[in-house]
Amino acid sequence: MDISENFSIEVMEIGYVEENRDYCCLFCDKKVAMGVIYPVGEVLFEDWRYMEHHIEAAHGSAFEQLLSGGKESTGLSDQQTKLLSLIYAGKSDKEIQQELQIGSLSTIRNHRFALRKKEKQAKTLVAVMNLLKQQQATGASGPISDVSIEKTFEPPAELVRYFSEEDGRLISYQLKEYEREQLVAEVALLFRPGKVYTEKEVNTILVDIFEDYMLLRRELVDRGLLVRNDEGSEYRRVSNLVNGEGSEMDYKKELKLKAKEEKTRYGIFQIKNVANGKLFVGSTPNFKTLNGLKFSLNNGVSTQKELQADWNDYGKEQFEFVELVVVDEKDWQGISKKKILEKLLEKWLEELRPFGENGYNGSKKD
């Protein structure tokens, strides 16, 4: 399959695409069901993060896979391909010179210049082809899209630095937590209260703000700004304020205040079957992701097979979600979030032993 012909640049860069209710790897036939929490060792990954893990484990990176297509796909010579691979690996010009047996460092600089020139030419060609497609679509009968966007998104002044001057889109989601809250609160205002949106309509609105529109959509749902039905086919914006009254400005102020006050809560949780006492114990970098875990169980697609089976048999009313530990980072100075969760999970697994007949974490030898 010709990836460049079938997928956008944004999709090619992340290495997977959303199709129906799955994330599909561009480089093999791997599919990851959406709304499912996937265990990797003792760590739980959200659906999209698990697909990223697959790409890293099976293909190295999207960069390596795209570059491996050869000249027919990239238009690059063998020498340019090798050079890009070494640059991506973090090699210095001196190391590249030795590995490629290039006579002088100036030759490497010339290669870099030639690659930047190709990049500029590629951008121009993409722009030309996009304009051509727009002209052809305008001349055709009927609208280009059946989804109307009612408002134009303008980032808050405090966050403008995170947006590209070229296309106006968010460059990265590596923001502080209060900045994320502020951003999604602003994005939520693009949706009209009371209107029902399909997933396609939501995606169409969000893709103009950030290339990873799926992440942005999940954030809106997990943070309680959009609600979706159990099937994930309909989305609605929450009402203004607690009692459903007030202006858009009131709503905006309320969400900004909430963004400044809230911090990401993370730690260890358990799911308890109150009917038989069995437990599942896990860790999460954000307790809001438990919404996704409940969603996967309600839709029968959890990878925790025994837990899913009992959820189906006993009914969701028989299960309790409990936050066992909320991490206070003051107690863990200089330790990464990942290590904190690993240490805490190990402690709670040893204490509660949710294995075999006692729980859903699988078997563990004494």
Q: What is the CATH number of the domain that holds 293?
A: 3.40.1440.10
Q: Do 277 and 243 belong to one domain? A: no
Q: Do 41 and 59 belong to one domain? A: yes
Which of the four pLDDT bands, split at 50, 70 and 90, describes residue 144? very low
In-domain check, residue 126? no
Q: What is the pLDDT of residue 247?
A: 53
- The CATH number that applies at residue 238 is 1.10.10
Could you identify the residue written with the tokens 């859903």? 360
Could you identify the residue written with the tokens 């989305």? 235
How far are the Cα atoms of 169, 202, 205, 208 from residue 151, in angstroms, in the given order?
Answer: 15, 13, 9, 12
Beta strand 319-326 with 279-284 is unpaired
Which of the four pLDDT bands, split at 50, 70 and 90, describes residue 214? confident
CA dist., res. 366 & res. 352, Å (int): 13
Token pair in block for residue 276: 């038989």
The answer to whether residue 49 scores a pLDDT higher than 70 is yes
Mean pLDDT of 252-277: 76
The answer to whether residue 182 scores a pLDDT higher than 70 is yes
In-domain check, residue 77? yes
Which of the four pLDDT bands, split at 50, 70 and 90, describes residue 249? low
Check residues 173 and 259 and name the one with the higher pLDDT.
173
Which of the four pLDDT bands, split at 50, 70 and 90, describes residue 2? low
Contact 260, 195 (CB under 8 A): no
In-domain check, residue 197? yes
β strands within 242-333, DSSP E: 267-273, 279-284, 319-326
CA dist., res. 270 & res. 280, Å (int): 5
The answer to whether residue 243 scores a pLDDT higher than 50 is no
Domain range for 333? 267-358
pTM of model > 0.85: no
**Pick from 17-21, 103-107, 130-134: least confident:** 130-134
CA dist., res. 22 & res. 19, Å (int): 5
CA dist., res. 348 & res. 350, Å (int): 5
Mean pLDDT of 318-329: 92
